[in-house]
Amino acid sequence: MSFEHHTLAIAGDSPGQETTLHWYSAGPEDAPIKVHMQAALHADEQPGTIAIHHLLPKLREADQAGQLRARFFIFPSVNPLGLSTRVLHRHIGRYDLETGVNYNRRWPDLYPVIAKDLAGKFGPDADANISVIRKAVGNWLDAQRPVTAAQKLRLHVMKSAYDADLVLDLHCDDESLMHIFTSPELMPGLQDLADRMGVAATLTAEDSGGGSFDEVLPSLYRKAQQANPGFPIPMACEAATLEYRGQADTHDSLGRLDAQGLFDFFAGRGWIEAPVSSPAIGAPPPTPFEATEVLRTDRPGLLAYRVELGDVVTAGDVVADLIAMDGPEAFLARTPIRAGTDGFILSRASAKYVAAGAAVAKIVGTEILPGRAGSYLLED
């Protein structure tokens, strides 16, 4: 059977430090499809990890039954470095405390570093062109010499993902409905994934501004297409960030549900020869991420929400009041925070004491908002 557990010891940046990365592989080595799936790149976001906890036994059973038709590489907790960053009883798993860099930012822009190696190598065969790109990326990755533990971890993950046909990065929001981030070219192709997850929204952007992991491979193929017109270069990797609700939604009941949704998605694709458990839930069509308002405060205070997740609002509606915590009316004054667009509440802040400039809600609308197009779209 092909189901295997793997480990990699990563030396730390200081004496006596070492961490271990765990992952699983399953499915025929010569399968025509490769799937790379990971959870907890932000190490304090665990709902994806518990979904994979419930998915792995299903994959093992399917492997034992000879039902796997794709090659799977599954990283249940892909950032062991972030698991160790606890400060005063708090887990700070979103940022590298050494550099301050968000673990899901500044992933490599691959096309510029391999462009010279692709010159004159494209032809009329789309599959051959994909192979040329993947070989060049593989060679570039093999040439890297990482120094820090974070660099070593990133390189290992990229070596697993770069030649995958599907890359799924499992995250969660603060307090949120389920949603997906992906590239616009990959829709409606990933609508089956949205339907199986039952998401409230699929938000698309070519470049959200931060170098997120799920944008690395779509950007590679998009830039290859743009730089080499006249040659057939498909978007050879479907990639998406799956946002499994909020950080507190790490429960067996939800993990089982999410694992079944992923299993049924793979089965529906024919990558697992097994029946799906139930009909898919129709999810809404994609919307541009530029049409989502990230609502922020202009001062510090204590949030008192007037809306729940999923509530529909119109521009001008009060989403929350901000209770003053200083000034002449400290703990008396309330300043309304109003929606700047029509839409529905996708996420809220779970911590109600906020600083100036804090993101307190995302409102999913349909119209691209002034100032959002071409700008940094992420919350941090």
SS3 state at 298: coil
Listing DSSP states for 35-70 in one string gives EEEEE-SSTT--HHHHHHHHHHHHHHHHHHTT-B-S
With 80 as the cut, is the pLDDT of residue 1 above it? no
- Give the pTM: 0.97
Same domain, 127 and 251: yes
With 90 as the cut, is the pLDDT of residue 375 above it? no
Same domain, 281 and 293: no
Single-letter amino acid code for the residue at 69: R
Taking each helix axis from N to C terminus, what angle separates 149-161 and 126-143, rounded to the nearest 10 degrees? Answer: 160
Domain count across the chain: 2
378 within some domain: no
376 within some domain: no
369 within some domain: no
Same domain, 354 and 331: yes
Q: What is the pLDDT of residues 298-347, one digit of tens each?
A: 999 999 999 999 999 999 999 999 999 999 999 999 999 999 999 999 99
With 90 as the cut, is the pLDDT of residue 377 above it? no
SS3 state at 297: coil
317 within some domain: yes
229 within some domain: yes
Domain that holds residue 313: 289-364
What CATH number should be reported for the domain holding residue 312? 2.40.50.100
Position of tokens 């430090």? 17
Same domain, 159 and 246: yes
Q: What is the pLDDT of residues 80-95, one digit of tens each?
A: 999 999 899 999 999 9
Taking each helix axis from N to C terminus, what angle separates 126-143 and 110-118, rounded to the nearest 10 degrees? Answer: 110
Same domain, 295 and 159: no
Quickly list H helices, the chain: 47-64, 80-83, 110-118, 126-143, 149-161, 191-197, 216-227, 252-268
What CATH number should be reported for the domain holding residue 241? 3.40.630.10
Same domain, 232 and 181: yes
375 within some domain: no
Query: Is the peptide bond between 188 and the residue preceding it cis, with omega within 30 degrees of 0?
Result: yes
Same domain, 79 and 166: yes
How far is CA 107 from each of CA 44, 102, 207, 209, 227, rounded to the nearest angstrom?
19, 10, 12, 11, 21
User: Reading across the β-sheet that carries 334-338, which strands appear in turn?
Assistant: 334-338, 318-323, 301-305, 353-354
